Amino acid sequence: MFETLSDKFDQTLRKLRGIGRITDRNIEDAIRDVRLALLEADGNLQVVKDFIEHVRQAALGQEVLRSLTPEQQFIKIVHRELCRVMGESAVELDLSAPPPVVLLMVGLHGCGKTTTAAKLAHYLKREKRRNPYLVPADVYRPAAIDQLAALGVQIGCAVHPARPGADPVALCAAARAAARDRGHDVCIIDTAGRLHIDEALMEELERIRSAVSPRQTLLVVDAMAGQDAVNVARGFHARIGIDGIVLTKLDGDARGGAALSVRAVTGRPILFAGTGEKVDALEVFHPQRIASRILGTGDVLTLVERAERAYDREQVAQLERKLRRNEFTLEDFRDQLRAVRQMGALADLVAMVPGLKKMIRGLDLERAEQELKRIEAIINSMTKEERRDHTILNGSRRRRIAMGSGTSVAEVNRLLKQYLEARKWMKRMSKLAGKGAARGLPL
């Protein structure tokens, strides 16, 4: 996420290290680098100009605070401006209306709208204790109806029956009535993808809006589209009016131009960000956290939130008991690796830990991601008995496991060594935590 932009900012900030004072000369050099970084990130030209001017006015002539270096002072200024451009703080989805609250999802073909509708339903069900009703109103694409139906089953959410070629306006009106009759408090309508210059389809969208009176019209935008995403957002907002934006595929966006520009251009907040393909990969968009990630200062709060979703209290307590009794098995080791992978890509997680990205610069994180998959494959090739008792893994068993996982005996041996080291380390940490708890210290 924002890898290219983050690397450019890091190069700029390195130039400011060791300088005793921010002067006109060095700040202009830094501002030029920031301007190039934002333009290379496919940021909107006018937004970039406005951003640079605000940074210049805030930075020029300022005395460096005693506790800060010029680098830190510049980070503070740029961070503040990034937050201003993307929105000062997270904005809540407005659900303050009599049920069922209608949420209308609009956007281009292929922007991830159908998946986002299911993700949003899952989020509202999990985080807000809502009872959403999904409506497949993309009657022009039979696969979209089937896809939403399958996703509804996956997340345990009711889906309105629909057929290809039906009248989308009548379908949406009937779905809203059905949601009310069945006791659903949120109705999420997945409309067909369309270009904002397609007159017939935009008129259809206007009729749908009139028929269902949505509380929020959410524009789903592909973050990887860059400047095109900004143009799409401007076009939709001018024609039908949007209340909020959902950025999809943010985990694959190395540039970040859409995230930096779309709010400034439309004046509408970015409410959510899609960070993966799974139904739980939808996060509230926090401008301050994203700004911190871009500048390499970490995002611990999001990391903690992801960890809380990946682990429940009972799992943690059970793992602690196993560690204390020296019962941590290869099966547990695999489950921990899976939980880490559920939290997101390694590169994304590394960016959330302050300073870690700089410490491991040059490390091939994609290769490390593949290594985690290889480890899981090896453990999956073991029998249940072998996973629970590593001491029975003799030479012939290791050869069979290597063949079954498509690896070598050397790789199986390396995994067992890593497992034993991890087991020893986790047991030691568990004992330290226990001593801290006994003294009333935080774990």
Q: Which residues pair with 248 in a beta bridge?
A: 222
Q: What is the pLDDT of residues 341-359, one digit of tens each?
A: 777 666 666 666 555 555 5
More confident residue, 121 or 426: 121
> How far is Cα 26 from Cα 16, in angstroms, rounded to an integer?
8
Question: Which tokens go with 182?
Answer: 């069945």
- pLDDT reported for residue 39: 81
Helices (H) and strands (E) in the chain, counts: 20, 8
Match 């290791």 to its residue by tokens.
Answer: 398
DSSP 106-175: EE-TTSSHHHHHHHHHHHHHHHS---EEEEEE-TT-HHHHHHHHHHHHHHT-EE----TT--HHHHHHHH
Mean pLDDT of the chain: 81
| pLDDT value of position 326 | 72
Q: Where does the pLDDT of residue 264 fall: very low under 50, low under 70, confident under 90, or very high at 90 and above?
A: confident
Task: Decide if pLDDT at 58 tops 70.
Answer: yes
Q: Are 379 and 401 in contact (CB under 8 A)?
A: no
pLDDT at 36: 84
The pair of structure tokens assigned to 245 is 């934006």
Which has more pLDDT, 103 or 7?
103
Higher pLDDT, 8 or 442: 8
* Rounded Cα gap, residues 14 and 2, in angstroms: 18
Angstrom distances, CA of residue 348 to CA of 276, 344, 369, 412: 11, 7, 11, 28
pLDDT digits (tens, 9 = 90+) for 94-112: 999 999 999 999 988 888 8
pLDDT at 298: 57
Q: What is the pLDDT of residues 196-225, one digit of tens each?
A: 667 888 888 899 999 999 999 999 988 777
What are the tens digits of pLDDT across the range 286-299? 888 888 777 766 55
| Residue 437 in this model has a pLDDT that exceeds 70 | no
pLDDT score of 64: 47
Question: Among 235-239, 313-317, 386-390, which is the least confidently predicted range?
Answer: 313-317
Does 440 score more than 80 pLDDT?
no
* Residue (of 201, 196, 215) closest to 111 by Cα position: 196
Measured CA distances, 418 to 72, 226, 277, 383, 412 (Å): 39, 42, 30, 19, 10
Q: Look at 388 and 325; give whichever has higher pLDDT.
A: 388
Q: Is it the case that residue 34 has pLDDT exceeding 80?
A: yes
Q: Which pLDDT score, from 0 to 100, does residue 443 have?
A: 38
**Residue 68 pLDDT exceeds 60:** no
Percent of the chain with pLDDT over 90: 32
- Burial degree of 141 (CB within 10 A; 0-12, 13-18, 19+): middle
Does 273 score more than 50 pLDDT?
yes
pLDDT at 158 over 90: yes
Is pTM beyond 0.85? Reply is no
E strands, 196-261, where? 216-222, 244-248
What angle do the packed helices 300-310 and 330-342 form, to 10 degrees? 130
Contacts of 142 (CB under 8 A, 6+ apart): 164
Q: What CA–CA distances, in Å, run from 298 to 142, 209, 322, 343, 386?
A: 43, 41, 32, 15, 39
